[in-house]
């Protein structure tokens, strides 16, 4: 599982304060904790700071990479902010995100075309959020083709079929899961990714249902997620789910996780 | 989910003692508890009592049905014991189980042919335990055909693709899951069932991995299980998993389960 740590996001109060105060120590702790917990990318987001977003996003990348040998996921819809962050980033970052919406696509593609950047590609077009498997596959197909035509390597694409809450429509869970299965079957070698927590919007015991959905999505082929790697129960669920579908030779990760007390909660 | 409560089994010491002592109260408590927890069938097994199995199995059915308006799953390879239990059973029981092994099949089929009994059909032949998806599909296909030729209604068949431990072979989990998916796709309307705990044999934190596997199997189409319905975390996992794949309109069961404190553990 390729985990993108989601915690450095200015929509969280503690992070917004740390950014405003330029509190290097606070940001580095959140970055380092996520990296140590297994995140392969650290998402950085300063979206609440309008004018200062380019400056702050750059600062976040520098601050995180000063203490952790890890790539960032640069989380912004603003090409200037992304460019500013890219100018200081070491290694190969992820761009979070592009979609098939005309404005977003046209803003992003000059930054991405012909590069080796990893890219989160949302299955969203100007027709709005997808509902069915077919909606997702149609958008996925067009998006993949366009990205390939713009010389982005196939294996750099992280397709997000977009989770919607089952409290809104009972079919939203299974439509997402079946989309993941179809995409990983039809486009072998492409990554699929999701932001998990939307699934449980409007329901009680959200963490429980989030974990169950992650376990199901892994069984359907999901290999990446934007999430909180400090959530021990969620991490343990991922480790168990991967062992169960044959992604963990001799269950070594699972047994190691057990020994390190990952399952004590 | 159709749950078969597994606790009245003479391989458990407390049950063996209760059977030997003809302790009606003890058996009725275990039966009633499972029924109240949501079991649609109560498995009864007296397999450790060789000669007395027919007598004891009959007594178990009578004892359970005296307090609970529930069908039994009659768990024996011995046609005489099954016949004895059937002679007193009220309603439509389940037979646990038939397989394609020649002896077992020929012993069982006279009891089953042309009836309305529910039947657990193991994907096992004289070639031994199945390993791959294809092994399971081959056996499933032959077994289904033979049962239909013997006038058992299609929807009475509960096909068990047989779980084997991932500690023995890393691929055993995914091969089972994919078999469930293929069977439920190819034979729409047939039931699939499993005994869960084999998956985690030889591993630590077995309950955790059992729950994760149940959640995955439900996503792949499993609709029935032989299990302990008093295991609250497992039951909560099933309720969440079913809501996530669209089997729970408006998430009513999930919300009701939450209100009744199913998720407090």
Contact A189, A223 (CB under 8 A): no
What is the distance in angstroms between the Cα of B261 and the nearest Cα belonging to chain A?
10
Task: Say how far apart CA A76 and CA A98 lie, in whole Å.
Answer: 10
- Entry pTM: 0.95
User: Which of A196, A211, A216 to probe by mutation at the B interface, max B CB count within 10 Å?
Assistant: A216
Kind of pairing between the strands at A224-227 and B191-192 = unpaired
Q: Cα separation of A210 and B263, whole Å?
A: 13
Q: Which of A208, A154, A113, A222 is nearest to B215 (CA)?
A: A208
Residues of chain A contacting residue B166, judged by C-beta atoms under 8 Å apart: 243-244, 246, 251
Q: What is the pLDDT of residue B265?
A: 81
Hey, is the C-beta of B214 within 8 angstroms of any chain A C-beta?
Answer: no
Q: How far is CA B129 from the centre of its chain?
A: 18
What are the pLDDT tens digits along chain B (265 aa)?
A: 999 999 999 999 999 999 999 999 999 999 999 999 999 999 999 999 999 999 999 999 999 999 999 999 999 999 999 999 999 999 999 999 999 999 999 999 999 999 999 999 999 999 989 989 999 999 999 999 999 999 999 999 999 999 999 999 999 999 999 999 999 999 999 999 999 999 999 999 999 999 999 999 999 999 999 999 999 999 999 999 999 999 999 999 999 999 999 888 8
What per-residue confidence (pLDDT) applies to A265? 81
Task: Return d(Cα A244, Cα A216) in angstroms, integer.
Answer: 11
Of B167, B220, B258, the CB nearest to A219: B220
Q: List strand residue ranges (DSSP E) for chain A, in order.
A: 2-9, 41-45, 71-75, 94-99, 118-122, 157-160, 191-192, 224-227
The set of residues, in sequence order, having a beta carbon less than 8 Å from that of B174 and lying 6+ positions away, is A244, A245, A246
Contact with chain A for residue B168, Cβ under 8 A: no
Q: Which residues of chain A have pLDDT under 50?
A: none
In order, the DSSP letters of B64-103 are: HHHH---EEEEE-S-HHHHHHHHTT--S--EEEEEESSHH
Closest in A199, A204, A263 to B208, CB measured: A263
In this predicted structure, what is the pLDDT of residue A264? Answer: 85
Minimal Cα–Cα distance from B171 to chain A, Å? Answer: 5
Q: A216 at the B interface (CB within 8 A)?
A: yes
Q: Do A241 and B212 touch (CB under 8 A)?
A: yes
Smallest CA-to-CA distance from A162 within A148, A145, A183 is with A183
| CB A204, CB B255: distance < 8 Å | yes
Cα distance between residue A90 and residue A63, in whole Å:
12
Residues of A in Cβ contact (< 8 Å) with B222: none
Question: Do B126 and B100 touch, CB atoms closer than 8 A?
Answer: yes
Q: What is the ipTM of this complex?
A: 0.94
Q: Measured between CB atoms, does B28 come within 8 Å of chain A?
A: no
Smallest CA–CA separation between A31 and chain B, in Å?
29
Site from A174, A181, A219, A221 to mutate, B interface, most B CB atoms within 10 angstroms? A219
Paired tokens of B10: 């003479």
The C-alpha angle with vertex A252 and arms to A246 and A256, in degrees rounded to 5, equals 135
Which member of B203, B220, B237 has the closest CB to residue A251? B203
At B59 the pLDDT is 98
Strand pairing report for A41-45 and A2-9: parallel
How many CB atoms are located within 10 Å of the residue B32 CB? 15
User: Counting Cβ atoms within 10 Å, is residue B200 exposed (0-12), middle (13-18) or buried (19+)?
Assistant: buried
Taking CB atoms and an 8 Å limit, are B170 and A204 in contact across chains?
Answer: no
Tell me the chain B residues in contact with residue A204 when contact means C-beta distances shorter than 8 Å: 255, 258, 263
Using a CB-CB distance cutoff of 8 angstroms, which residues of chain A are in contact with residue B199?
A: 244
CB contact under 8 A, B215 and A220: no
B198 touches chain A (CB under 8 A): no
Cβ contacts (< 8 Å) between B203 and chain A: which residues? 251, 254-255
Q: Which of A237, A249, A258 sits opposite B204 (nearest CB)?
A: A258
Task: Name every chain B residue with its beta carbon within 8 A of the beta carbon of A250.
Answer: 170
Contact B128, B95 (CB under 8 A): no
Is B245–A173 a contact, with Cβ atoms under 8 angstroms apart? yes
Inter-chain contacts counted by CB atoms under 8 A, chains A and B: 107
Q: Which residues of B touch A177 (CB under 8 A)?
A: 219, 244-245
Task: List the single residue in B with minimal CA-CA distance to A239.
Answer: B209
Across the interface, do B171 and A263 touch by the CB < 8 Å criterion? no
Q: Is B174 on the interface with A (CB under 8 A)?
A: yes
Residue among B61, B39, B42, B48 at smallest CA distance from B20: B48
Out of A174, A212, A255, name the one closest to residue B237 (CB): A212
């Amino acid at each position: 599982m390729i985990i993108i740590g989601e915690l450095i996001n200015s929509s969280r109060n503690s992070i917004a304060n740390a950014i405003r105060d330029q509190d290097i120590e606070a940001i580095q702790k959140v970055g380092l904790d996520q990296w140590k917990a297994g995140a392969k990318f650290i998402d950085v987001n300063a979206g609440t700071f309008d004018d200062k977003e380019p400056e702050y996003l750059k600062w976040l990348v520098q601050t995180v990479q000063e203490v952790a040998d890890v790539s960032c996921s640069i989380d912004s819809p603003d090409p200037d902010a992304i460019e500013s962050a890219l100018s200081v980033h070491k290694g190969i970052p992820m761009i979070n995100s592009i979609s098939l919406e005309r404005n977003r696509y046209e803003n992003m593609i000059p930054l991405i075309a012909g590069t080796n950047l990893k890219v989160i590609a949302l299955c969203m077009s100007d027709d709005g959020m997808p509902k069915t498997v077919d909606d997702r596959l149609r958008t996925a197909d067009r998006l993949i083709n366009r990205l390939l035509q713009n010389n982005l390597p196939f294996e750099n694409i992280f397709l997000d079929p977009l989770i919607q809450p089952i409290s809104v429509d009972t079919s939203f869970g299974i439509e997402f899961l079946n989309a993941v299965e179809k995409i990983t079957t039809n486009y072998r070698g492409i990554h699929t990714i999701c932001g998990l927590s939307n699934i449980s919007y409007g329901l009680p015991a959200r963490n429980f249902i989030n974990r169950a959905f992650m376990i199901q999505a892994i069984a359907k082929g999901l290999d990446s997620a934007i999430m909180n790697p400090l959530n021990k129960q969620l991490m343990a669920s991922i480790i168990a789910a991967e062992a169960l579908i044959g992604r963990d030779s001799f269950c070594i990760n699972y047994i190691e996780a057990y020994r390190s007390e990952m399952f004590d909660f």
